[in-house]
Structures are given as C-alpha cells and as structure tokens.
Copies of this chain bind each other. A is one copy, B any other.
Amino acid sequence: MNQPDNPPVKSRLPADQRRKAIVDAAVQLFAQNGFRGTTTRQIAHAVGVTEPVLYMHFETKRDLYSAMIESISSGTPLASCDPICHHTGDDAVFTSIASGILRWHVEDPTRIRLLLFSALEGHELSDLFYQGHIVPFMKTLAAYIERRIEDGAFRRVDAYNAARAFCGMIAQFGQSLTVFRTPCPEDSRKEVVHQMVAIFLNGMRKPEDTRE
C-alpha cells in the first residue's frame, strides 16, 4: 500500500548517502524558490522520503540550509586563478577569465540564484561566498593587473577598480542571461565576451599620446 511507485529503487540508504541526497535536493529547491519559498515537505518528497527523515540529519530547516550553503560554497569557484598563472598574453588571460565567469553563471544557474537569494534573504551565503571566493579572486586579478601596470603595459589606474570593472560587466551579462532570462544564442555570447574583453583591454592599454 505504501509501496513506492518506482519499485526497483533501493529504499534505505546509509546515513551519509541519505544526507548527501537531501542536500542535493535542497540545493535545487532552495535555488528555485528561496528559503521561505521552499517547504520541508517539498524537499522530503524530492528526496523520496518523508519529513522526519530530514530531521534525523538536520535539526532545523535552517540547519539544512546552512549545510547546503557549505556544500555549494565548496564547489566550483566563480572564477579560477589558473588563466592568470598560465599567463599567455593579456588577451588569452582575460578571455579565459571572462569565459569562466560566464560559464559559472550559465552552466548551472543554481549557483547565482542561490547567491542572490541568500543575499536578499539575509542568510550567510552572501558573506561566505563573497569573502571566500569573490574577494580572493579579485585580489589575485588585481595583483595581475598591478603587475601589468608595473610592466608598463597598462595605464596607471587603481588595479582593484579595474578588476571590478572587468568582472562586473561579465557578471552582469551572465546574470541577465540566467536570472533575467535575456535570450542570447550560444555563439553570440562568445562574441559578447570577445568584445567586452577587447573594450577592457583597449581601455587599460597605454595610449600613444598620454593626455590628462
């Protein structure tokens, strides 16, 4: 009578696996509906168990949220420092960074949605992610820009502001694609990235006749 409708599923899982399954389901639902918009029943149903099972692993709904935050936060970083390390020319570096940021957004919109939801709802992912991922990367990028300024390749501007400008225009584009669902075909995106990188690099490079 209480037979599940999909019969050949292993009904009982060891604690750690079940816990992981719960967190995974929670990620999707919290990203889609936010903390307040997601019910514990929804999560339980998505996992294929009943509510009390959630409470065997997490004391409260918020504890589950926090655990999910941690899971997300330890996942794919927004931007990788790799392109900076394997430096093969500014164009390659910044194109690679931009592609990475954009991929982070569109490949799985779950992440940006979760980040925005938690920032708006005042949860801790905001800070955890911002301080843990964004700021460190921005500092690395700023350091790279600083180096290029010292090289004489870039104009003398505040490196962190320049990094902010670059990441900002890419991130905003990624956000408009995922959160605001602006339509934009795949290859057109590459073109946008290409042009943004071009504008930025042109803006950073030293003009022939300096004029203030």
Produce 1/0 per residue, A172-211, CB < 8 A to B. 1101100111100000000110011011111111011100
**Which residues of B sit under 8 angstroms from A181, Cβ to Cβ?**
126
Which chain A residues numbered 32 to 85 have a C-beta less than 8 Å away from chain B? Answer: 33-34, 36-37
The answer to the question of A92 belonging to the interface, with a C-beta cut-off of 8 Å to chain B, is: no
**Which residues of B sit under 8 angstroms from A116, Cβ to Cβ?**
116, 120, 179
Taken together as a complex, chains A and B put the C-alpha atoms of A192 and B182 apart, in Å, by 27
The answer to the question of A162 belonging to the interface, with a C-beta cut-off of 8 Å to chain B, is: yes
Taken together as a complex, chains A and B put the C-alpha atoms of A126 and B207 apart, in Å, by 40
Taken together as a complex, chains A and B put the C-alpha atoms of A208 and B37 apart, in Å, by 56
**Which residues of B sit under 8 angstroms from A166, Cβ to Cβ?**
169
Interface size on A, residues (CB 8 A): 48
**Which residues of B sit under 8 angstroms from A198, Cβ to Cβ?**
157, 203
Smallest distance from the beta carbon of A111 to chain B beta carbons, Å? 13
Q: Is the interface of A mostly helix, strand, loop or mixed?
A: helix
The answer to the question of A152 belonging to the interface, with a C-beta cut-off of 8 Å to chain B, is: no
Smallest distance from the beta carbon of A156 to chain B beta carbons, Å? 11
Tell me which of A120, A195, A196, A207 has the highest count of chain B C-beta atoms within 10 A of its own C-beta: A120
Whether A164 pairs with B169 at a CB distance below 8 angstroms is yes
Binding site for B on A (CB under 8 A): 33-34, 36-37, 113, 116-117, 119-121, 126, 130, 155, 157-158, 161-162, 164-173, 175-176, 179-182, 191-192, 195-196, 198-205, 207-209
Known: A162-B199, A165-B199. 11 other contacts (CB 8 A): A33-B36, A34-B34, A37-B121, A157-B199, A158-B195, A161-B195, A162-B195, A167-B172, A172-B172, A202-B202, A207-B207
